[in-house]
């Protein structure tokens, strides 16, 4: 961006936006500005306008206007991200894809669905299931998050341990690059090596390279049954060892979720954990899916793997209601832990699964050393833990301790050859840590790619990487 | 490239290469030049030198020398590609990765293997299987092709219908960009959204962006049993309809191979097809893998799907020897069909599976209309057919007819929303067809990316896209 930050939308810019999108799609009233000033991350920054493109062509027109008037564009799905990926930057226009929610095509016999960026993840899955198929990526926010946001972050969820993430279910994209050109990537077949893989370059690029308007998704057959085990352990490292055993035998679970004592307390408060054995300090939820007979055999194998030191109880969920309760509680954890302290510093680091026991021991030690409540839960089968440092933002000493603990946490993760983010993304919040993981030459290459897609730097500036 | 083509290695360039790699790794003798003048594509072009880097550091040094002396570098694995991806360009140096065949790490408990670019695909799989794991991508050339070549092309094979291709089994890469900088992409965990996905941008880029030196591969549990069905049909469209039925029910096969009458004749000549029912004009090989009980249930479902109009016979392979014979014959097809005519114009197009029946009917019509033997076989479960136009290169009229038929074939594929290549890549042979599939702005973006990685254009120039 080579112009000074604009504190309000200039008259010519407003006119150009209205010409491109129509008056009803350009909002600058204080209520709308306020509503779109933040995502689920900790920061706020009011945009100078919020716009709602109706389709690909309007999105292309929007990007042209943004280039002409040097307006930073911050793409937004449902604003359910944790890392400020959709946080407006000063002087920016939020481009909300909420109005682009058409399913353009559903071809069940081809296992393909073409959707606009604003369709919710659950809607895609529900439509797929109406024809015996399903869409595996299942972020906790699936009922309201938009596929465009999922694509921006390469979102995943519990099922990733068996099925992978968003990236694994996209055959092609339609998008508008930062320079205003329309990109058509991939196609609608499951094997395709024509051209470079721009599809996967755009997925996870957090709205910094292009605005995705349409996606062609791959669906898979829906498993007819899911079985759920609950295993209680005396300690977190013992539960983590059980995770490593599960992931080192052939029956791949379709969920392998970990909860530490604070997370357990939170789901007990929600009334979902039922009676737990005395001394439970770690809980695993383990699922297998497939035909009923497959599930039975897989559960038997998973039971064997879950048995070991520290196991206090291992049982199958009694009925669908109990499973539903467990999952509702698990999915509510992200919000529930906010009761512990006003600010949740929420990391979604990943370590190799065999290092998980050592990693949870480090988390416990950091919580002690820095006198901080740390709540850990998440997708243990991928080594992907949500580590939440609970703090009072007005307590300067606590904030200082939290930041020191965070740096130690990241050092540990990277020493273990893990990564800073498994599914939440980098956004604004983690950008300054990226150079700890990505070497300078590789980071320079990424910045150079950004410049090719977005020469004027209008797309989500200052996100994904630290400022150069 | 901004210098004239060099017809032999200059003395300063030779000295620089020897300084970088050592004398024993720089070859310019006529025998070596001759050996490396072609891959399995139809063309030859002698390089001016062939070099054999020993490791990542030597590869980085090589790229620096190539930039200083403006030497085009053509990366080569085993030279088993079909499209001239490893075809030397005039004045080029072939960089063979044959000497980089160390397995740097095998962590079975983590399901991870780190290998150098010259390790063969079969070696990776065999080592994984020694610990109950396997490496799914299975190109026909697996016994001798190198993982570096697989990465360049995003190679796949029969198992892709269930397991996906090379791209789906790579956690991270180490590579040298065209500008000589070392890139470290991804990592060794299964979820990672830090930075842009350079891993998948490099996979399938055919040595035009960077030279991959090391790859961190993801392994999966090896299925204990594989069951094999053979189904014979009266016509190709009827067999293709059966493929669509198979792919529209929940039991995903781990191979679904199609053969047309000429392919059947070739495998019969190899003595592998046994007795076939009279009137067989299409054959499917269908496999399911997993635990023995899973396989039984899957085979029952697959049988149901395979039944339908035109089915002449459906049976399970009698014993492992018959399965081995069938696969040996299937894998030899690519070579065996060369007996029909001296030149095989070998396409590996993909169409959506529900369009396959219509597509094979078009192929039959083109063979009639243009009076050409066309042999079709391949990975029908992905809609990925190997369509081979068998021609005499000295017969100008036949060559003209072949090229007309080819254009009609590609038009049909693209009308059906398919792609020009599913797994072989574009290389030199198909580059001029790429603009039929990729729109101009998207192609321009790909070229701009190439320029960022390789500003002097030294890496495999003139491949993957038509010259600008």
pLDDT digits (tens, 9 = 90+) for B209-251: 999 999 999 999 999 999 999 999 999 999 999 999 999 999 9
Could you tell me if A84 and A154 lie in one domain? no
- Say what the pLDDT of residue B322 is: 85
Whether B272 and B334 map to the same domain: the answer is yes
Which burial class, exposed, middle or buried, applies to A447 when counting CB atoms under 10 A from its CB (0-12, 13-18, 19+)?
middle
How far does chain B reach from its first CA to its final CA, in angstroms?
Answer: 13
**Best to test chain B binding among A194, A288, A410, A441 (most B CBs inside 10 Å):** A194
Nearest to A201 among B164, B196, B422 (CB): B196
Nearest residue of B to residue A108 by CA position? Answer: B248
Task: Choose the closest CB to A422 out of B167, B192, B438.
Answer: B192
Asked if B438's CB is within 8 angstroms of A382's CB, the reply is: no
Task: Return the residue in B189, B203, B418 with the most chain A beta carbons within 10 A, the one to mutate for interface testing.
Answer: B189
Residue A424 lies inside a defined structural domain of this protein? no
Residue A318 belongs to a domain with what CATH number? 3.40.462.10
Nearest residue on chain A to B222, judged by CA atoms? A250
Residues B85 and B182 in one domain: no
B122 and B20 fall within a common domain: no
Q: Which residues of B touch A297 (CB under 8 A)?
A: 291, 293-294
- Contact of B73 with B64, CB cutoff 8 Å: no
Mean pLDDT across the stretch B138-166? Answer: 97
pLDDT of res. A362: 96
Contact between residue A138 and residue A159 where contact means Cβ atoms under 8 Å apart = yes
Query: Least CA distance to A383: which residue of chain B?
Result: B189
Place of tokens 């199609």: B258
Provide the shortest C-alpha distance from residue B357 to chain A (in Å): 13
Q: Which residue of A has its CA nearest to B420?
A: A194
Across the interface, of B194, B244, B247, the residue whose CB is closest to A434 is B194
Place of tokens 């350009």: A26
Q: What ipTM score was computed for the predicted complex, to two decimals?
A: 0.96
Q: How confident is the model at residue B335 (pLDDT cuts 50, 70, 90)?
A: confident
Q: What ranges in B22-69 are assigned the alpha helix state H?
A: 30-35, 56-68
Last-in-domain residue among A32, A64, A99: A99
Residues of chain B contacting A449 with CB distance shorter than 8 Å: 196, 449, 452
CA distance B271 to chain A (A): 31
Considering CB atoms only, which of B111, B195, B448 is closest to A438?
A: B195
pLDDT of residue B267: 81
What 3 state SS string does B351-367 have? CCHHHHHHHHHHHHHHH
- Give residue A388's Cα distance to chain centre: 15
**Mean pLDDT across B200-208:** 98
The count of CB pairs under 8 A between chains A and B is 255
| Chain A residue closest in CA terms to B192 | A422
Asked whether residue B467 is domain-assigned, the answer is no
CA distance to partner chain A, nearest, from residue B296 (Å): 12
Per the domain annotation, does A236 fall within a domain? yes
The verdict on residue B213 lying in a domain is yes
Cα–Cα nearest to A201, from B448, B84, B460 = B448
User: Is the Cβ pair B189, A351 closer than 8 Å?
Assistant: yes
- The pLDDT of residue A91 is 97
Which of B188, B221, B254 delimits the end of a domain?
Answer: B221
Q: Are B419 and B438 in contact (CB under 8 A)?
A: no
C-beta separation of A256 from A291 below 8 A = no
Mean pLDDT (chain B, rounded): 95
Partnered with residue A107 across adjacent β-strands are A112
- In eight-state DSSP terms, residue A432 is G
Residue B427 is assigned to a structural domain of this protein? no
Neighbour-count burial of A403, counting CB atoms closer than 10 A to its CB (0-12 exposed, 13-18 middle, 19+ buried): middle
Spell out which residues of chain A touch residue B382, defining contact as CB-CB under 8 Å: 189-191
- The answer on pLDDT for B135 being more than 60 is yes
Residue in B156, B184, B353 closest to A110 by CB: B353
Rounded to an integer, the average pLDDT of B326-330 is 82
**Tens digits of residue pLDDT in A154-188:** 999 999 999 999 999 999 999 999 999 999 999 99
Smallest Cβ–Cβ distance between A352 and the set B110, B193, B421 belongs to B110
Closest Cβ–Cβ partner in B181, B291, B352 for A188 = B352
* Residue of chain A whose Cα is closest to the Cα of B175: A442
Question: SS3 for B391?
Answer: strand
**Which residues in chain A have Cβ-Cβ distances shorter than 8 Å to B169?**
none
Query: Is B178 within 8 Å of B75 (Cβ atoms)?
Result: no
Work out the burial of residue A361: count CB atoms within 10 Å of its CB; fewer than 13 is exposed, 13-18 middle, 19 or more buried. middle
The helix/strand/coil state of B105 is strand
| A132/B209 CB distance under 8 A | no
Domain count, chain B: 3
**Cβ neighbours of B384 in A, within 8 Å:** 189, 191
More confident position, B290 or B325: B290
Question: Which residue range(s) make up the domain with B217?
Answer: 103-221
Interchain CB distance below 8 Å, A110 and B352? yes
From B187, B205, B221, the end of a domain falls on B221
A234 and A347 belong to one structural domain: yes
User: What are the pLDDT digits (tens) for B9-54?
Assistant: 999 999 999 999 999 999 999 999 999 999 999 899 999 999 999 9
Pairing, β A93-96 against β A49-51: parallel
**pLDDT of residue B3 exceeding 70:** no
Residue A72 in domain: yes
Cβ atoms within 10 Å, residue B334: 21
Residues A381-439 have pLDDT tens digits of: 999 999 999 999 999 999 999 999 999 999 999 999 999 999 999 999 999 999 999 99
Are B144 and B257 in a shared domain?
no
Phi/psi region, residue B22 (left: phi>0; alpha: psi -120 to 50; beta: rest), is left
Within a domain: A2: no
All residues of chain A having their beta carbon less than 8 Å from the beta carbon of residue B154 are: 193, 197
Q: Are residues B29 and B116 in the same domain?
A: no
| B81 assigned to some structural domain | yes
Helix residue ranges per DSSP H, B106-208: 121-129, 147-153, 160-163, 198-202
Nearest Cα residue in chain B from A157: B191
Query: Using the beta-carbon criterion (under 8 Å), do B221 and A417 form an inter-chain contact?
Result: no
Residues of B in contact with A350 (CB under 8 A): 189-192
Shortest Cα distance from A86 to chain B (angstroms)?
Answer: 16
Q: Is the pLDDT of residue B176 over 70?
A: yes
- The predicted pLDDT at position A329 comes to 79
Q: Are residues A285 and A409 in the same domain?
A: yes
Same-domain pairing of A31 and A127? no
CB spacing of B419 vs A107 below 8 angstroms: no
User: Does residue A382 sit in the same domain as residue A312?
Assistant: yes
What is the mean pLDDT of the segment spanning B93-108? Answer: 98
Domain match, B324 and B235 both: yes
Low-confidence ranges of chain A (pLDDT < 70): 1-3, 272-273
Whichever domain contains B88, its CATH number is 3.30.43.10
Higher confidence at residue B6 or residue A260?
A: A260
Statement: residue B268 has pLDDT above 60: yes
Closest residue, chain A, to B165 (C-alpha):
A191
B323 shares a domain with B276: yes
> What per-residue confidence (pLDDT) applies to B326?
82
Instruction: Give how far Cα A158 sits from Cα of A165, A206, A445, B274, Å.
Output: 10, 21, 32, 47
Do the beta carbons of residue A105 and residue A114 sit within 8 Å? yes
């Amino acid at each position: 961006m080579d112009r000074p930050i604009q504190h309000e939308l200039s008259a010519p810019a407003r006119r150009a936006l209205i010409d491109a999108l129509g008056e009803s799609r350009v909002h600058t009233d204080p209520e709308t500005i306020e509503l779109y000033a933040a995502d689920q991350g900790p920061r706020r920054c009011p945009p100078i306008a919020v716009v709602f493109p109706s389709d690909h062509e309007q999105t292309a027109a929007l990007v042209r206007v943004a280039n002409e008037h040097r307006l930073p564009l911050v793409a937004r799905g449902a604003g359910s991200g944790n890392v400020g990926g959709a946080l407006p930057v000063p002087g920016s226009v939020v481009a909300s894809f909420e109005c682009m929610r058409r399913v353009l095509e559903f071809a069940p016999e081809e296992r393909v669905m073409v959707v606009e960026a604003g369709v919710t993840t659950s809607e895609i899955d529900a439509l797929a299931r109406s024809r015996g198929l399903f869409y595996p990526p299942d972020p906790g926010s699936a009922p309201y998050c938009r596929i465009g946001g999922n694509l921006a972050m390469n979102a995943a969820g519990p099922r990733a341990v068996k099925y992978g993430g968003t990236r694994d279910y996209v055959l092609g994209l339609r998008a508008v690059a930062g320079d205003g050109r329309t990109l058509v990537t991939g196609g609608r077949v499951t094997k395709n090596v024509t051209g470079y893989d721009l599809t996967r370059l755009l997925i996870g690029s957090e709205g910094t390279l292009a605005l995705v308007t349409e996606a062609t998704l791959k669906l898979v057959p829906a498993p007819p049954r899911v079985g759920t085990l609950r295993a209680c352990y005396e300690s977190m490292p013992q539960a983590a060892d059980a995770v490593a055993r599960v992931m080192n035998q052939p029956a791949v679970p379709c969920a392998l979720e970990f909860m530490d004592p604070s997370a357990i307390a939170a789901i007990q408060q929600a009334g979902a954990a039922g009676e737990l054995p005395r001394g439970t300090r770690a809980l695993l939820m383990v699922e297998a899916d497939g035909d009923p007979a497959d599930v039975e055999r897989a559960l038997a194998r998973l039971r064997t793997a879950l048995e070991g030191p520290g196991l206090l109880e291992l049982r199958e969920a009694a009925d669908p209601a109990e499973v539903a309760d467990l999952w509702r509680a698990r999915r509510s954890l992200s919000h529930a832990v906010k009761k512990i302290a006003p600010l949740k510093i929420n990391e979604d680091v990943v370590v190799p699964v065999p290092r998980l026991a050592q990693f949870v021991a480090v988390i416990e030690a950091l919580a002690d050393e820095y006198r901080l409540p740390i709540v850990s839960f998440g997708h243990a089968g991928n080594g992907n833990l949500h580590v939440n440092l609970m703090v009072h933002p007005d307590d300067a000493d606590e904030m200082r301790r939290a930041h020191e603990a965070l740096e130690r946490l990241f050092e540990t993760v990277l020493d273990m050859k893990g990564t800073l983010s498994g599914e939440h993304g980098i956004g604004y919040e983690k950008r300054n840590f990226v150079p700890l993981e990505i070497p300078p030459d590789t980071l320079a290459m990424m910045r150079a790619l950004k410049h090719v897609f977005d020469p004027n730097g209008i797309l989500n500036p200052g996100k994904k990487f630290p400022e150069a």
